[in-house]
Each structure stands twice: as C-alpha cells, then as structure tokens.
Structure 1
C-alpha cells in the first residue's frame, strides 16, 4: 500500500481557532507550521470536541461543568422559584423570577467554563507537544503574515520572507491582515456601541467578603446581574479557584466627561458606570485588581461586529474563526430571558478547525485542496453566519430600539441550535457524499 504524502499546512495566527486547526490537521498526519506575532476567559460549548482526541475531558480537569444558575437584579434581590426554598438565609441576593435554564437532557453536548488563557495553553501544548498523533506542529513567534498568494499557497511575513505550502489557513483574528486578499472585499470591523470590562479575582477573596460571598456560594455557580442597559456576568474557572467577571456597558460610559477625548481608566470607568449598584455588587467591582496591564487586572474589551463576507476561501487559502466571522458575546440587553448566553465565538472557531481536519484526511493530494476548501465553506459558512445573527438578535436592547428582542421560545431555539450541532459528523457526511458522487462519476465514464 503506497504511503500518502502529508500536506504542508501554513497557519497564520495562534489563537483558539489557529491552534485547534493545527491539532486537527496534525492528527491527520499533515505537516503544520503556525506563525503569529503574539499570543486571551471564555465559556465554550464542546459540540465539536465529541469525536476529537483533544476533547476537554482529555485536555485537562480545568473545564468546569455549570451546576446551577442564579439571576440577580442590580439591587441584589434574589427571588426563589416557586418550587425552590430560599437557600441563603437573610441574604440580600435573590433569583430573578423569569430565570430559565436549558435542561441537560435537551443538550447533545455539555457546556463548560474555562479560563481562556488556560484553554489557549492546553491547545498550544496539544498542537506542539510530543504526545498525540502526527508530527508536532512548529510554532514560530514574532512574525505576522502580511500577505497571502492564494493560488500558490505562499505567505509573506512582515520582514519580507516568504514560505509556501499546500494549504494556507488564515486565523489571525478580527483585525485580520489577509481577509481582503482571500474574500475579495474590504470588511472593517465596527463598534457595536458597547464595551465589556473583564477581570479575574481569586475566589477566596470573593468568599471572604460578606457582601460578595453569595456570588460564589457553590462550585459551578453561574451568576447573572441585570440592571437597565447594563449587565455583569460571573462564573468560575481554574477548578473553582478563580472567579471570572465581565461587566457590559455602553461605549459612552468609557469617556471622561471632564476631559474631552480622554478615556477613564478601566476600573474607574467601570465603577462609575455601575454607580447605582447595591453595596454588595459595588464591592465586587472595588475588589477587582487595578492594573490593566496585568493578567488579572480590569481590561476594556470593545465589542466589534462585521458584515458578512461573500466567501471565506480562495484557491489554496481559507479564513477561519474571527478572521471569517467575528462574534459578539451576546451579553448585553434582553436580560429577562435566561441566564445562558450564546458566547459562541471560540466554539465556532473550533468547529471550523474540526471541519478542516475531517475534510482533509491524510491522502488528500495538493491538487484536491481547493475542492476540499469548497466543502469546508459549504459545511461552515451558513451555520456560522446563522449563529452570528442569533447573537446579534440576542444582544438587542430590551426597549426594542435595536429591533424586537427574541421571545423566550426563540432564544431557547438559538441555544439548542448552537449546542446540538456535531461538526465532526456533519463534515464527515458531507465528505462521504462528495466522495460517493465522485465514484459514481468515474463509473459512468
């Protein structure tokens, strides 16, 4: 039996999507090189890890399965469900009466919490480490890709060097430098008018303060705080030792009214935006680390959106992840429906990677790459864009100024559409149908 020559794959970008693609293609036996200029906390569903050896269960015990959800109003009032006894005696923290949760029996796959930095580190180890199938991917730092020749599979780095391969995957994020070359159009990401402040705090510190203790009372607790057009989301990571906090505000809240054109410091702006919070929640903001330059300090994260691309593929090159379809986290507006968010940016990027791994098994010849990328786009583009639109609808302001918010039933449909998908199976079915059609064509000849 003749040995199949592996494809040489060049990946621009080493975020979640780029590293997931490196794992998927390495496991198929291909030679993978990842190039990036720099190396980001996330909630992710695992719909496409189900058949992948790099599944959360095998990667690390740091993935936390949510155990319970609680919703709070901005004045820290918890109203138990009619069937639920009050569990925090004399506590000012109460659950929203409209809170919903999708029963696990309705899900094909689980939803996990994990710190983005931890997930990124594990993906990097799985892509470049000695263990696992295939040859370890080569990781080259400090060299961003500035141009892609789609017909020859050649990339040009910022220092002028060029490298060629059988396939180029561009996964260099929302500000991709090669998006226009591949798609043929200019698409500039634009502000969604909102910003997210993110920070980490040791869970023990949150527990030690009586005002914030109910927010981390149980392992796996997801907390959702609503008020007007603002929102705070809290969930555990790092094996329940770290509390991840996200506060969503309008971009207008970031500017200093006394200094035109100047932005407030991240923590200052966040506290000012939530000045109407009760004492307990204000304490959560006050104990946030100050330094935005540190790994755990408060960092502003402008929320960006982008118009759809006419194509993700061109010759031997393909876009993946945020380079193809940047996602909003869908964590602002329409707070009365459910504690769950779509938050599918990382998950959809992983699905993209899994699809490429399925569609490009060892034995795929270089001449077949453009046709297989057509299948990749067929498998992924419509789904990713549909989830993007669900995310936009989910994030509409509850007053209807951005369009009607989704009904409870519509939103539950959004969640099920995201969670119930198995890209490994989907891409496998598409590839098998394609190969069967090819064989039928040969038989006719």
Structure 2
C-alpha cells in the first residue's frame, strides 16, 4: 500500500504540474486521489477539509502576513536607496565596486524585506542604470543582482525560516534566525568573490570615494533602517516578544520610518494592503494544501519508507547528505521554495535525524539548497525579475550566472557538511 500510495501521490502531482495546473491545486488533488485509495469518499473529503483548516490554525502563522506587509512598506518607503548608499561606503574601494554594492545592498535590503523578488527588483532598478553608465555589461550586472538576491531568504527575518519551523514541528524560530546569518553572509561573499574576478578581467572601475563628512551623513541616513533588524531580531532572540509580535513591531517601525522619510503617503496604503493580501493568500493556500499532503504521507508511511530506501542505498553520512542535496537542488529548479519546504521537510527530516543532524542545521541546509532555485530556470523568480529589470533576455544571462551558481553550490556543501556554520551563533547565545 505504501508503494502504491507513493506512486499515485507523486505521479498525479507531477502529472498535474506538467499539464500546467497551479501547484496548490496539484498538491490538493494528488492528496485527495491518494486518500481515496484508502478511505471512503465522504471520509476523505471531511478529513481533507479538516486538515486544510487546521493547517493554518497556528498563532505563529500570523508572522507571515505581518512580515510580508513590513517588507512591502519598506520596498515602497525609500529605504532601498539609502541602503545602496550605505553599501557603497562599505565596498566602494573594490574593483567593480558597483557590483559589490549591488551584492551588499541585496543582503541588507533582502534581510529587511525578506523577499528575493523585492530585492532583485529594488536593487536592479537602482544599480543597473548606474552600472551601465560606468561601462558595466548589462548581463554582468544582471547576473550579480540575480545571484545575490536570494540572500534575503537566508538572512533573517525570513518567512521561509518560519515556514520550516512549522513544517519541522516547532523548531525554535529564534535559533533558526540566528543560524541564518553566517550561511547568508557566506553566500554574499561567494558572489562578491566571483564578481571581483569578473570585474578585474573586464577592467571595471572603482567608485569615487565620498568624503568623511558624506560618509557620516550616509551612515546616519541608513542607521534607522538597519536598526529595524536589531529591534526585531534582538527582541525575538532575547525573548522580549515572539516572532509574531516581532513582525507587528516591524510593521509599525516601517510605517513610522517611511513617514519620517516622507516617501510614503496615506493614499499608498490601499495598494500596499492589496499586494499583502494577494501574497499572503497565495502562501497560506500553499500551506493548507501542503498540510494535507503531509497528512497523506504520514498516514501512508511514505517518509519512513523513503528514509529506509535512502539508507539502504548507502550508510555513508556524506553520501546520504549529497543525495539529499542533489534532490533538493533539482526540486528547487522547478518548484517554488514555500511548497518545497512544506513537502520535503517531513520527508528528509527523519533521515537527517537518523544521521544525527540537528534540526536547526538541517533547516539551514534545506532552505539554502532550495533557495538556489531562485536563480535557476525554469521557475527562478529572482532570475526572471533580475533579467527583466536589467532589460536582458533569460538566455543571455544564463552563461554569466554559471560561475555564481558554482560558488553558491560550494558554500552549500560547506553549510551542509560543517554544522558549526549554522550552529555557532545559536549555541553562542544559548538558543
């Protein structure tokens, strides 16, 4: 029955995706069809409805729409430009300094907005014209922007990390947030390293260095935005408030800061709320569908069967990790990260526990691996947005992206095989 259920569940799921069905619908229909093999029709429908309703019946889930709202407010509130200027101060002396500014800008803005798409769009619109005016190839600029945009999904606050916490059965969000800093920074450094050698080879210039007075002014302009990270993450880690309360604080802080900057008006809020509702509805619908999918897998014993199958292939710790990483990278190329985390966490978490991998370390590994799909076809959202804002074709930017892809894969291997990269900060803070 387990083998039959697995064939039906994944067979129907991938068949529906192949024919262009929305992923949430594919998840629900494949789950219902599989349940019908085991339960009567009326019991199946009742069970599915109850599971989908209870799938989002969690207080922590409120953090997702609030963080989404905070990110959209910041994206419209003039914060990106100030962070770009701050990034220039940090990396302005490096060859190809505007490319490095793009990377640091994505790391800063992405960590605040929690969205690779928002990051790629905001940084691309600001940095691409500047780089073009200084003689940078558009494909080079687009590749740097695309490759660094997903860092915001790793560096907290991140809704993907919250979703993993829910899918894994309640892994500490505070610990996961702290675990994301070093892997996210390593991703950014890897992209900057490749960009550095590309800039040296092409002879791209170093930016003009502002005076100390201008530097102090730029830092002062950026500090209020950066302080948001300290307030939200610091409050969550210190136990002052929960992740949900921290998200509410982020919304209030973003509104106040945008009003102070005079870059956000009352008339802008209906459009902001509409965008928040659309994104939140999509995420929550995926979560409800994936909750049903997880129930089917649990009921039929699929995670245990898949775990035993992988463990029978090899007993090597490194071998099993490499197999999981390969599967996750492939999955990430054609599935959005939210449903991928929800579907594959229950499958691979038991295997990681068999290997003695800490759930926090595993969380960083699975999120990192799936985030790579943001910069690869056919469904890489950062790839499409980054290419669009740079006004280049997808096929033109694939070749320049390959060295960045290789560098990020190398960092993924380090994150997966060296637990302390993820666990150092949580252990240091006793989380």
TM-score, L = length of structure 1:
0.25
Comparing both structures, which one devotes a greater share of its residues to helix?
Answer: 2
Between the two structures, name the one with larger relative contact order (CA 8 Å, sep ≥ 6): 2
Which protein shows a greater Rg?
Answer: 1
